[in-house]
Amino acid sequence: MPELPEVETIARQLQQRASGNTVTSVTLHRADVVHGWPMPLCAALRNQKIEQIYRQGKRIRIQFSGDWTLVVHLGMTGRITIANPGQPLEPHTHLCISLSENRREMRFCDPRRFGAVWLIGHDESQDNLRHWIGRKLAAVGSDPLEISLDELAACLGRNRRIKPLLLDQQPISGIGNIYCDEVLHRARLHPLTPARQLGRGDVNRLRRAMRQVLSEAIAAGGSTISDYRTADNQQGNFQQKHRVYNRAGKKCKRCGQTIQRLLVAGRSTFLCTRCQPMQELAASAAGVNRSTGQSAVG
Ligand SMILES: [Zn+2]
């Protein structure tokens, strides 16, 4: 699933290539991928200029000159690419937005359809839900690249373990399974550490690790494990730099210990138990089953 670095990569490329264009036409091949206001997309977006495209959490926001903004969530397998004229339509392309410059198209394709597109007003108001169609938009939490130390400390003061808390998209939005494991390894924190037991030094290390790992991943164009492609239809490169994710049985790049796999909150979790020891105090207080490494609560 695309996480913050992949979505940021796509949003930056779209901003460079599509922003400033005017929409000449909209073709919707599958109406049920669109949610939000019950206004036909073509009527809403035609002749509107694309003002700005940016990331918010794991979403892409495409802001138009008129009244509307499109919010795109890529789900598991979603892609937004810029296609040149005559480029064949990939299977499972649900939406094409034709651009004024060189007759290119911005295309949304999503084989598994966990992704979606929302047409909303700029203020994202969902007050008048009588007129809302389909899935609601969940609130977006703090951004891991911008969160302050105090804000992060406040987010972590909860009775949750650190990995499920970071995956939850509230109170922090953007980190999924891959980058959670990479960040926790970089911060030398066990994924089952109770969040509220982290000291100021731990929180500081976690914040630094989030910024470092996510920034490095953005610079590498994200991680391509299976489906992810950039807006230019290229693969990312950060998977080659993963230190723990999907590396069970291989050596830790920092200390040489064998990487292990656990199940945390139902998700495969990769860690180095030497770099990321479970502190004894934290373990006993949290009731962790140390033989399986599984927590009693999510
Ligand atoms: Zn290690």
Residues 11, 255: Cα–Cα separation, whole Å: 36
Would strands 59-64 and 68-73 be described as parallel, antiparallel, or unpaired?
antiparallel
Question: Are 192 and 286 spatial neighbours (Cβ–Cβ below 8 Å)?
Answer: yes
> What phi and psi values does residue 82 have, to the nearest 5 degrees?
-100, 120
Is there a catalytic annotation at residue 2? yes
Residue 191 CA to ligand 1 center (angstroms) comes to 14
Is there a catalytic annotation at residue 267? yes
Residue 147 CA to ligand 1 center (angstroms) comes to 27
145-172 CB burial, b ≥16 within 10 A, e <16: eebeeeebbebbeeebbbbbbbbbbebb
Is there a catalytic annotation at residue 58? yes
Of the candidates 3, 6, 8, 105, the residue annotated as catalytic is: 3
Residue 257 CA to ligand 1 center (angstroms) comes to 5
Would strands 68-73 and 116-121 be described as parallel, antiparallel, or unpaired?
antiparallel
Is there a catalytic annotation at residue 196? no
> Smallest Cα–Cα separation from 167: which of 264, 22, 94, 85?
264
Residues 192, 189: Cα–Cα separation, whole Å: 8
> What phi and psi values does residue 281 have, to the nearest 5 degrees?
-60, -45
pTM recorded for the entire structure: 0.91
98-129 pLDDT per residue, tens: 999 999 999 999 999 999 999 998 776 666 66
188-202 pLDDT per residue, tens: 999 999 999 999 999
- The stretch 4-29 carries a mean pLDDT of 97
- Residues having C-beta closer than 5 Å to ion ligand 1: 252, 254-255, 257, 272, 274-275
Q: What is the mean pLDDT of the chain?
A: 91
Residue 78 CA to ligand 1 center (angstroms) comes to 34
Residues 145, 172: Cα–Cα separation, whole Å: 10
Residues 150, 156: Cα–Cα separation, whole Å: 10
Residue 226 CA to ligand 1 center (angstroms) comes to 26
151-194 pLDDT per residue, tens: 999 999 989 999 999 999 999 999 999 999 999 999 999 999 99
> Smallest Cα–Cα separation from 11: which of 66, 67, 64, 73?
73
**Cα pseudo-dihedral 249, 251, 253, 255, rounded to 10:** 120
pLDDT of 128 reads: 64
Of the candidates 6, 8, 17, 58, the residue annotated as catalytic is: 58
Instruction: Classify residue 188 as left (phi > 0), alpha (psi -120 to 50) or beta.
Output: left
Residue 152 CA to ligand 1 center (angstroms) comes to 25
Indicate the residue type of 256. G
